[in-house]
Amino acid sequence: MKTQHTKDVADVNQIAKEYAAAWAKGDPELLLSCYADDAVVIMSNEAPIVGKKALRELYEAVFASPKTEAEGGGEASMAEAVGINPDDYVITSGGEEGEKEVSGDLGYLWSTYYSLATPKPGVGGEPIGDSGVSLLIVRRQKDGAWKVALMMATRGEDPLAASQQNDPGQ
Protein backbone atom coordinates (compact mmCIF):
# COMPACT_ATOMS: atom_id res chain seq x y z
CA MET A 1 0.00 0.00 0.00
CA LYS A 2 1.39 3.35 -1.04
CA THR A 3 1.32 6.09 1.58
CA GLN A 4 2.16 9.72 0.98
CA HIS A 5 2.79 11.34 4.34
CA THR A 6 3.99 14.83 3.45
CA LYS A 7 6.69 15.01 6.15
CA ASP A 8 8.06 11.55 5.31
CA VAL A 9 8.25 12.40 1.61
CA ALA A 10 9.98 15.70 2.43
CA ASP A 11 12.45 13.89 4.70
CA VAL A 12 13.24 11.31 2.01
CA ASN A 13 13.73 14.11 -0.53
CA GLN A 14 16.10 15.79 1.93
CA ILE A 15 18.25 12.68 2.44
CA ALA A 16 18.43 12.32 -1.36
CA LYS A 17 19.65 15.93 -1.67
CA GLU A 18 22.20 15.43 1.11
CA TYR A 19 23.45 12.24 -0.54
CA ALA A 20 23.89 13.96 -3.93
CA ALA A 21 25.59 16.97 -2.29
CA ALA A 22 28.02 14.70 -0.42
CA TRP A 23 28.99 13.01 -3.70
CA ALA A 24 29.45 16.35 -5.43
CA LYS A 25 31.58 17.67 -2.58
CA GLY A 26 33.73 14.53 -2.42
CA ASP A 27 33.44 14.24 1.35
CA PRO A 28 33.46 10.63 2.59
CA GLU A 29 32.29 11.49 6.12
CA LEU A 30 29.41 13.57 4.80
CA LEU A 31 28.43 10.74 2.47
CA LEU A 32 28.67 8.17 5.28
CA SER A 33 26.35 10.29 7.42
CA CYS A 34 23.61 9.51 4.89
CA TYR A 35 23.92 5.75 5.46
CA ALA A 36 22.47 3.47 8.13
CA ASP A 37 25.10 1.63 10.18
CA ASP A 38 24.20 -1.69 8.49
CA ALA A 39 23.90 -0.27 4.96
CA VAL A 40 24.73 -2.31 1.88
CA VAL A 41 26.08 -1.02 -1.44
CA ILE A 42 25.77 -3.23 -4.52
CA MET A 43 27.31 -2.21 -7.83
CA SER A 44 27.33 -4.07 -11.14
CA ASN A 45 29.77 -6.98 -11.23
CA GLU A 46 31.03 -6.23 -7.70
CA ALA A 47 30.67 -8.03 -4.39
CA PRO A 48 28.28 -6.32 -1.94
CA ILE A 49 29.89 -3.84 0.44
CA VAL A 50 28.33 -4.20 3.89
CA GLY A 51 28.47 -1.80 6.82
CA LYS A 52 29.93 1.63 7.45
CA LYS A 53 33.46 0.39 8.12
CA ALA A 54 33.69 -1.15 4.64
CA LEU A 55 31.94 1.85 3.09
CA ARG A 56 34.38 4.22 4.82
CA GLU A 57 37.33 2.35 3.25
CA LEU A 58 35.67 2.55 -0.16
CA TYR A 59 34.77 6.23 -0.03
CA GLU A 60 38.09 7.30 1.51
CA ALA A 61 39.82 5.64 -1.45
CA VAL A 62 37.42 7.15 -3.99
CA PHE A 63 37.71 10.64 -2.49
CA ALA A 64 41.41 10.53 -1.64
CA SER A 65 42.25 13.70 -3.59
CA PRO A 66 43.12 16.69 -1.41
CA LYS A 67 41.25 19.04 -3.79
CA THR A 68 38.68 21.36 -2.30
CA GLU A 69 35.13 21.56 -3.60
CA ALA A 70 36.04 24.72 -5.54
CA GLU A 71 38.94 22.84 -7.18
CA GLY A 72 36.73 20.01 -8.37
CA GLY A 73 36.24 18.08 -5.14
CA GLY A 74 34.46 14.82 -5.74
CA GLU A 75 34.85 14.73 -9.51
CA ALA A 76 38.60 15.35 -9.28
CA SER A 77 38.90 12.71 -6.58
CA MET A 78 37.00 10.17 -8.66
CA ALA A 79 39.15 10.97 -11.71
CA GLU A 80 42.31 10.36 -9.72
CA ALA A 81 40.82 7.15 -8.28
CA VAL A 82 40.51 5.72 -11.82
CA GLY A 83 44.03 6.82 -12.70
CA ILE A 84 43.56 9.98 -14.73
CA ASN A 85 44.82 13.47 -14.03
CA PRO A 86 41.73 15.65 -13.54
CA ASP A 87 43.67 18.68 -14.81
CA ASP A 88 43.95 16.97 -18.23
CA TYR A 89 40.21 16.30 -18.61
CA VAL A 90 36.92 18.15 -18.79
CA ILE A 91 34.55 16.28 -16.51
CA THR A 92 30.81 16.48 -17.00
CA SER A 93 28.20 14.67 -14.98
CA GLY A 94 24.49 14.65 -14.43
CA GLY A 95 21.38 12.56 -14.53
CA GLU A 96 17.68 12.66 -13.96
CA GLU A 97 15.49 11.88 -10.97
CA GLY A 98 13.12 8.98 -11.26
CA GLU A 99 10.25 7.95 -9.04
CA LYS A 100 10.20 8.33 -5.26
CA GLU A 101 7.84 6.52 -2.93
CA VAL A 102 7.45 6.20 0.83
CA SER A 103 5.43 3.57 2.65
CA GLY A 104 5.67 3.19 6.41
CA ASP A 105 9.31 3.11 7.50
CA LEU A 106 10.69 2.38 4.02
CA GLY A 107 11.08 4.41 0.90
CA TYR A 108 12.86 4.25 -2.39
CA LEU A 109 14.07 6.57 -5.06
CA TRP A 110 15.88 5.92 -8.26
CA SER A 111 17.74 8.09 -10.73
CA THR A 112 19.94 7.92 -13.78
CA TYR A 113 23.52 9.14 -13.69
CA TYR A 114 26.40 9.73 -16.05
CA SER A 115 29.91 11.09 -15.90
CA LEU A 116 32.21 11.70 -18.82
CA ALA A 117 35.89 12.68 -18.70
CA THR A 118 36.95 14.12 -22.06
CA PRO A 119 40.65 14.80 -22.69
CA LYS A 120 41.46 18.48 -23.10
CA PRO A 121 42.98 19.59 -26.45
CA GLY A 122 46.54 18.36 -26.73
CA VAL A 123 46.05 15.56 -24.21
CA GLY A 124 46.21 12.06 -25.65
CA GLY A 125 43.61 9.52 -24.75
CA GLU A 126 40.01 8.58 -25.22
CA PRO A 127 36.99 9.83 -23.30
CA ILE A 128 36.22 7.79 -20.19
CA GLY A 129 32.64 7.49 -19.04
CA ASP A 130 30.28 5.79 -16.68
CA SER A 131 26.52 5.76 -16.65
CA GLY A 132 23.67 3.80 -15.25
CA VAL A 133 20.77 3.77 -12.86
CA SER A 134 20.99 3.99 -9.08
CA LEU A 135 18.42 2.88 -6.56
CA LEU A 136 18.39 4.07 -2.96
CA ILE A 137 16.26 2.23 -0.45
CA VAL A 138 15.90 4.35 2.65
CA ARG A 139 14.74 3.29 6.10
CA ARG A 140 13.50 5.32 9.04
CA GLN A 141 15.88 4.86 11.97
CA LYS A 142 14.90 4.48 15.63
CA ASP A 143 15.57 8.21 16.15
CA GLY A 144 13.20 9.06 13.27
CA ALA A 145 15.94 10.04 10.79
CA TRP A 146 15.87 8.59 7.29
CA LYS A 147 19.09 6.86 6.17
CA VAL A 148 20.16 4.90 3.12
CA ALA A 149 19.84 1.19 3.89
CA LEU A 150 20.68 -0.08 0.41
CA MET A 151 22.24 1.54 -2.63
CA MET A 152 22.36 -0.34 -5.90
CA ALA A 153 23.91 0.97 -9.10
CA THR A 154 23.95 -0.56 -12.54
CA ARG A 155 26.49 0.56 -15.08
CA GLY A 156 26.01 1.00 -18.80
CA GLU A 157 28.21 1.00 -21.88
CA ASP A 158 27.30 4.48 -23.16
CA PRO A 159 28.26 7.27 -20.73
CA LEU A 160 25.35 9.44 -21.84
CA ALA A 161 22.71 6.75 -22.43
CA ALA A 162 21.27 6.88 -18.92
CA SER A 163 20.20 10.50 -19.31
CA GLN A 164 19.03 10.43 -22.92
CA GLN A 165 15.57 9.60 -24.19
CA ASN A 166 15.84 6.79 -26.72
CA ASP A 167 13.32 6.42 -29.50
CA PRO A 168 12.54 2.68 -29.77
CA GLY A 169 11.71 3.22 -33.46
CA GLN A 170 15.33 4.19 -34.30
Q: What is the C-alpha to C-alpha distance for residues 84 and 113, in angstroms, rounded to an integer?
A: 20
pLDDT of residue 97: 84
> From the centroid of its chain, how far is CA 128?
17
> From the centroid of its chain, how far is CA 35?
12
Q: pLDDT of 24-76, one tens digit each?
A: 777 889 999 999 999 999 987 789 999 999 999 988 877 775 555 555 555 66
For residue 100, give the 3-state DSSP assignment: strand
Q: How confident is the model at residue 129 (pLDDT cuts 50, 70, 90)?
A: confident
Residue 84's closest CA among 112, 50, 55, 123? 123
Q: How confident is the model at residue 166 (pLDDT cuts 50, 70, 90)?
A: very low
Mean pLDDT of the chain: 80
Q: What is the C-alpha to C-alpha distance for residues 41 and 49, in angstroms, rounded to an integer?
A: 5
Report DSSP letters for 48-99, one per residue: -EESHHHHHHHHHHHT-----GGGTHHHHHHHHHTT--GGGEEEEEE--EEE
Q: pLDDT of 89-113, one tens digit each?
A: 887 877 888 888 899 999 999 988 8
Tell me if 154 sits within 8 A of 133, measured CB to CB: yes
Q: Is the pLDDT of residue 170 over 50?
A: no
Tell me if 163 sits within 8 A of 54, measured CB to CB: no
The 10 Å Cβ neighbour count of residue 145 is 15
For residue 136, give the 3-state DSSP assignment: strand
Q: Is the pLDDT of residue 78 over 80?
A: no
